[in-house]
Amino acid sequence: MAKRKTKYVCQDCGYESAKWMGKCPGCGSWNTLVEEWEASSVNTRHTMGGGAKPASKPESITSVETKKEPRITTSMREFNRVLGGGVVPGSLVLIGGDPGIGKSTLLLQVSSQLADKQLPVLYISGEESMRQTKLRADRLDVTSDLLYVLSETNLFDIVSQIEQIKPAFVVIDSIQTVYREEVTSAPGSVSQVRESTNELMKTAKSHGIPIFIVGHVTKEGTIAGPRMLEHMVDAVLYFEGERHHTYRILRSVKNRFGSTHEMGIFEMKEEGLREVMNPSEIFLEERPQGAAGSTVVASMEGTRPVLVEIQALISPTSFGNPRRMATGFDTNRVPLLMAVLEKRVGLLLQNQDAYIKVAGGVKLDEPAIDLAVAVSIASSFRNKPTRPEDIFIGEVGLTGEIRHVSRIEQRVQEAAKLGFERVFCPKKNLEGWTPPSSIKAIGVSTVKEALEEGLMD
């Protein structure tokens, strides 16, 4: 009898080695190589010889027939927005997030809404029993007869139930609990997650059934398991939010059927998640009036403009090296903007600690918020507030110039809708359009010019 071979597989990146090593050569992680049995059986469907499936032949791209399939829309417009307009039939979507953030609640509510539209839905939970799922359904007021629940972790049984029921929507909660009998490693390992996801992908594509799988995240905030898991699926969504805040953000980081910059905002209530249709009002409702270091910026999240407050606190340092800290904003851009203010405007900031925060727990990463951050820093340093009805938009260059930003019309219209009276934007952005009559657009060319006009005496 042949001796079964073992191999060591990294649980973070999937690197395989014949012997154990403390540090993975693939990703550099420590103590992540775990011993697994090599598969001894060979799948005869993929071997050469009789009975093999004939290979498909290449075709000219102009002769390939296509048909536009309608998307499955839910009652949550925020959820539809992040997916690019609704659920695509036959798609495989991965949703990740911290434990307890509301992933299962969101998918159960979506399943209920689709079932209310007379679409059969199969909700498979590997972490909870059917009674536990029913208790959560009662709390969320889910009462549809077309919503089927199943507590199963065996991949063969899961695929069999999908093929038998033929639902219009499937949820797998979570992929780390699903196992395939042919793979000898434990559930949640790299091999199990990879093989299970691959089989679910085949099921989704062959039957045209959209499948949503829930994935746990590591302490670094990434999806647990190999990175190839994100390459296999059609869309990757992250459900973010602070545990001590009620607001949750659904963000798309990969989407083959839509934009990857969309963001949906929800509020966690006792009866479930409620979508926030106007997030700008939420982020600005507690903004202090007349406080130095506070500005407002119009940031684009996909196709939606969102008005967010940026706060800065500048204070003399007590250490040899001043601190530069930022929350919700790239920390590396803080010393860059402070160097521009010191060199081009003349502010002595080299002995000052700087603390930047984007209020509301939002993460902003576009360059159009540079001007608002720079004005906040100067406002706090000079202890001069900005006008409550002003808003700042623009990218700051190293020479102190204010550079052109995209979609200025949508940003200004959102500011005018919320009652702002003046908007500071790049001078080149004023060409080719007319701002609303209720707001005055002021074009600035340099940071110094924006500070002279924007800070109150």
Q: Which residues are annotated as a binding site?
A: 97-104
Q: Which residues contact 332 (CB under 8 A, 6 or more apart)?
A: none
User: Angle CA(88)–CA(90)–CA(95) in degrees, nearest 5?
Assistant: 70
Cis omega before residue 174 (within 30°)?
yes
Under a CB-based contact definition with an 8 Å cutoff, are residues 450 and 422 in contact?
A: no
Task: List the binding residues for ATP.
Answer: 97-104
438 SS3 class: coil
Under a CB-based contact definition with an 8 Å cutoff, are residues 102 and 248 in contact?
A: yes
Strands 121-125, 169-173: parallel, antiparallel or unpaired by DSSP? parallel
Q: Residue 273: in which H helix or E strand, if any?
A: strand 272-275
Cα separation values, 70 from 73, 219, 330, Å: 9, 38, 39
- Residues 83, 210: Cα–Cα separation, whole Å: 12
Closest by Cα among 96, 330, 101 to 221: 96
